Each structure stands twice: as structure tokens, then as C-alpha cells.
């Protein structure tokens, strides 16, 4: 094991329960751990690395990601939305995407997404979805830290006519899925020196029975892992749960004992007080009192005109707010930025949805949800999961407050190096061991297969061009006299 001292003009250290900016300081990495943070270090080291043009921060923790399908969303969901489903693209788009998303395509998406995560500062990712075994192998090979969960559910939603949402149920399949997920967690616990772990991820609040959710919660407690659930992610879902139970999704989850310190709700946007549902109640209080965490994925909703109302209100209510990427792009830089900006818009204030709050959400809050006090901070005993940002790049100048610059202005090109478990996974902007060109070719081929099979999954048999037409019509070739060829 090598003991290395890194010195830099800015280090985001952890002290007295919060991040603090250490000017002209140093930190020591011994193997996979940080052993010292301070102005000076008098001990012996094997190597000294002086970084006069760097900001050193903890790595980001992405708490909600679908690596196996996310790149396929590009050029599909951004400018479409059926008003019948409150402008969401889920009901019509996802079944059509799934029709052509074969195993090779999902694996290509995983390979591409892991590169995108690394080059934008994610050191730990929570993946929910298919191809869990392949994802676990790929995360291990990438050098990143990953929590992986095969998804399962009691049923599926679909639209038969583009006007309503129906459900098809198979409770036995849900129980089999839970049993397989438990086996996956047990077989992956502690893998890759602890970098790869499992957790539980029942699909959505409206596609899981009460029995399945209760069983999932019990299993998560016995396995000592998080349990993540999509909830309050759509108006149609909110209305469906209130129709079934006379309770909001959050209220119903509280009623059945699903909420708690190990529970992570994906999205939780449409809650009581939200203008889209106009429903009275105290969902925020229930989330805070139960110590349930929420993963906000701002960009994937903002591109459809949907915002959380509002991020600072959740924080001030005491909810443990985390951040995720969900779909394309797999960039926590974008997640931090869009969370801060959208929170300012919805609260109509600039001083509540701050860089500090979103940076905490991407580091300390996510680590608390995972019950990992060794992640999300630069402190003695913490894992050496570190980001080295440039101070001398064009985009980072002028530099006064490193956190504000990172949240509001940084690009992946401003991130020089990424370290996970004391090992370099990005060096001078290059993802170690990754074939970026091959990954891009892989998702291009995957996309073309999905687009070609689109009509097979669309309720009306429409092509992708009919659902999401190109921004501009095709150029028409003409001869010298203006006649179309």
C-alpha cells in the first residue's frame, strides 16, 4: 500500500458535521482510505503530489440510475408529451422503447453510461433495472463503486388506447422477482473489496402489491440494505393510488410500514401541496418523520416541463434529499445544476435552492441514506473517492467559491481526475481502460434497433417518427430548375 500526500489550494474537507473549504492544505491517502486532512502533515509518505491548479472534493453519489436503457432516451422524450397523461413520456414511450431493447442493446447502454458517470464525477451509483449480473461485472471492471438492484413488480401498467392507463397483474412473478433479488444481494455482498453491493428495488408504487412491498421492506431490514421504490412520479399514478386507497402514495406507504431510514423514494414529486394534484395533506411531514430519503432527478422531469415544488421546501421540512440521474445524460454535474436552478424557479427565491444544499444532497445526504459514513466526505477514515477539478481551465475562471463554480458552471472537461478506493479511474479527463469510440458506436447501434422496432411496442402501432417527429423536415434535393428529384 502506498501512502500519498496531495496538496492543493482548495480541499473540501469534512469537519464538525459539515463540508468546509480548506485553503492551501493537504490530504493523505493510504491505500483505499484517507488518513489525514489539514494545513500540514509531518508524517512520512511514499509520494508527494503537488497540485497547484486543483480543487479536491468528495465524489458524487448517484442514488437513482437506469444504466441499461438511459442513452436510448436521447432525441426521443425531450419535445413530446401526451396531455392525456399529464405530459409524461413514461406511459407511451417506455413500452415502445422496451420492444426493441434487446440484451445486446442493454449491455451497450451500461458500457456507455459507466463512462459518462465517471467522466462527470460519479464515484458511487445506484442502478435499478435489468441485466443486474452484467451491471455488477461492468461496475467492478470500471473501478467505480456500485449498488445494483434487479427490479421486480407485481404487475405492469400500459395504455390500450392512448387515453387511459390499465394494469396487468402477476403476483407470483413479483414474489419470484423478490426471491431472485434477495439471492442477488446475498451473492454480491462485499464483492470487489466492497465496491459492488446489492440492494432491493421493487418497481413502482402502483405496480407493486401491498404484500410485495411489505415483504421487500422486511427483507431489506434483514439484509441491511436500502430499498428503493418509484413513487409519486406521475399524476396518473397519484390518482390511481388515491382511487384504490383514498390515500396519497406517501400516505399509503406510511400506512403499510414501508417508509423508514432504509427507504429511498425515486422522484416523490407529486405530493400533497403540489399544484398538479391539488390535494391537501402532510406528505412532507410523513417523509421527514419516518426518515425516508428522496432521490430527485431534476433533468429528466424538467425536459418535460415538470419540476419539484420545491426542492428547498423538502429540505426545510427535514427530508433527507439525495440526487440522481435516472436517464440521459448520466451526469451528476447536470443533476446538481438543474436541481439548484429549478428550485430557485419554483420557490421564486435565489437564496434557498443553494449550491451548498445540492452539493450536500450529492454527497453527505446520499452517504447517510446508504449508512456509509465513510463516503461523501474528505475526512480521516473515509474512502478515497475523490474528484480533482481544474482551477486553471477556461470554464472555471474566475474562481472565488469552488462549490458555486462546480454547481453552476463546471463541465466534464473541468474535471481532471477521479479516484475511487484510492485508485485512478479518470486521468487527465480520460476514463482509464475505456474505449469511448466503441461505446458510442454500441449505443448508436442499440438506438437504431430500438427505433426500428418502435411500432411493436406502441399501443397504436405508430413509428417513432409519428410519435416524436424530427425537429426539421428532411431537405429535398432539386435540380437546377427547382424540380424535386
* pLDDT at residue 483 greater than cutoff 80: no
- Region 218-238 average pLDDT: 97
Predicted pLDDT at 433: 96
What percent of the chain clears pLDDT 90, i.e. is strictly above it? Answer: 91
Per residue in 160-170, pLDDT (tens digit) is 999 999 999 99
3-state per-residue secondary structure call for 220-240: HHHHCCCEEEEECCCHHHHHH
Predicted pLDDT at 93: 87
Per residue in 130-156, pLDDT (tens digit) is 999 999 999 999 999 999 999 999 999
CB 140 within 8 A of CB 191: yes
Cis status of the peptide bond prior to 310, with omega within 30 of 0: yes
* pLDDT at residue 481 greater than cutoff 80: no
* pLDDT at residue 116 greater than cutoff 80: yes
- Region 100-126 average pLDDT: 97
* pLDDT at residue 1 greater than cutoff 90: no
Cβ atoms < 10 Å from Cβ of 355: 18
Per residue in 68-99, pLDDT (tens digit) is 998 998 988 888 888 888 777 788 888 999 99
CA gap 468, 470 in Å, rounded: 7
Is 3.50.50.60 the CATH classification of the domain at 60-376?
A: no
Predicted pLDDT at 262: 97
Residue keyed to cell 453519489: 61
Q: CA 346, 351, 357 angle in degrees (round to 5)?
A: 85
CA gap 265, 355 in Å, rounded: 22
**Model confidence band, residue 308 (pLDDT cutoffs 50, 70, 90):** very high
Cβ atoms < 10 Å from Cβ of 82: 16
* pLDDT at residue 366 greater than cutoff 80: yes
State residue 467 phi and psi, 5-degree precision: -80, -45
Amino acid at each position: 500500500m502506498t501512502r500519498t500526500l496531495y496538496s492543493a489550494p482548495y480541499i473540501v474537507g469534512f469537519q464538525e458535521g459539515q463540508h468546509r473549504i480548506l485553503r492551501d492544505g493537504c490530504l493523505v491517502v493510504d491505500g483505499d482510505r484517507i488518513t489525514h486532512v489539514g494545513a500540514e502533515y509531518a508524517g512520512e509518505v511514499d509520494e508527494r503530489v503537488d497540485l497547484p491548479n486543483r480543487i479536491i472534493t468528495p465524489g458524487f453519489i448517484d442514488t437513482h440510475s437506469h444504466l441499461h436503457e438511459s442513452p436510448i432516451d436521447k432525441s426521443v422524450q425531450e419535445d413530446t408529451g401526451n396531455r392525456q397523461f399529464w405530459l409524461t413520456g413514461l406511459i407511451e414511450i417506455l413500452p415502445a422503447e422496451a420492444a426493441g431493447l434487446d440484451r445486446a442493446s442493454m449491455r451497450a447502454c451500461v458500457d456507455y453510461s459507466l463512462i459518462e458517470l465517471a467522466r462527470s464525477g460519479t464515484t458511487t451509483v445506484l442502478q435499478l433495472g435489468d441485466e443486474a449480473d452484467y451491471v455488477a461485472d461492468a461496475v467492478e471492471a470500471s473501478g467505480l463503486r456500485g449498488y445494483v438492484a434487479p427490479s421486480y413488480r407485481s404487475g405492469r401498467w400500459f395504455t390500450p388506447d392512448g387515453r387511459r392507463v390499465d394494469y396487468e397483474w402477476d403476483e407470483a412473478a413479483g414474489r419470484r422477482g423478490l426471491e431472485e433479488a434477495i439471492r442477488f444481494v446475498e451473492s454480491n455482498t462485499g464483492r470487489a473489496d466492497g465496491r459492488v453491493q446489492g440492494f432491493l428495488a421493487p418497481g413502482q408504487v402502483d405496480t407493486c402489491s401491498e404484500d410485495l412491498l411489505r415483504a421487500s421492506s422486511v427483507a431489506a431490514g434483514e439484509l441491511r440494505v436500502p430499498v428503493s421504490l418509484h413513487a409519486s412520479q406521475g399524476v396518473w399514478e397519484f390518482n390511481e393510488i388515491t382511487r384504490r386507497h383514498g390515500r396519497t402514495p406517501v400516505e399509503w406507504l406510511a400506512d403499510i410500514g414501508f417508509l423508514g431510514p432504509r427507504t429511498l423514494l425515486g422522484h416523490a414529486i407529486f405530493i400533497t401541496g403540489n399544484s398538479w394534484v391539488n390535494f391537501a395533506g402532510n406528505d412532507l411531514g410523513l417523509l421527514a418523520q419516518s426518515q425516508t430519503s428522496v432521490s430527485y432527478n431534476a433533468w429528466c422531469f424538467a425536459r418535460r416541463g415538470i419540476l419539484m415544488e420545491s426542492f428547498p421546501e423538502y429540505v426545510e421540512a427535514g427530508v433527507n434529499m439525495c440526487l440522481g440521474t435516472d436517464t440521459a445524460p448520466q451526469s451528476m454535474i447536470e443533476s446538481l445544476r438543474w436541481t439548484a436552478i429549478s428550485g430557485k424557479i419554483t420557490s421564486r427565491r435565489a437564496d434557498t435552492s443553494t449550491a451548498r444544499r445540492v452539493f450536500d444532497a450529492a454527497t453527505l445526504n446520499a452517504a447517510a441514506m446508504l449508512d456509509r459514513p465513510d463516503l461523501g466526505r474528505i475526512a480521516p477514515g473515509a474512502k478515497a473517492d475523490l474528484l480533482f477539478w481544474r482551477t486553471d481551465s477556461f470554464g472555471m475562471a474566475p474562481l472565488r467559491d469552488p462549490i458555486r463554480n462546480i454547481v453552476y458552471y463546471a463541465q466534464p472537461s473541468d474535471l481532471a481526475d477521479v479516484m475511487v478506493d484510492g485508485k485512478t479511474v479518470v486521468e487527465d479527463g480520460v476514463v482509464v481502460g475505456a474505449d469511448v469510440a466503441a461505446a458510442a458506436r454500441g449505443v448508436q447501434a442499440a438506438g437504431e434497433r430500438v427505433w426500428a422496432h418502435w411500432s411493436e411496442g406502441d399501443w397504436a402501432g405508430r413509428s417513432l417518427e409519428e410519435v416524436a417527429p424530427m425537429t426539421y423536415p428532411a431537405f429535398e434535393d432539386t435540380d437546377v430548375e427547382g424540380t424535386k428529384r
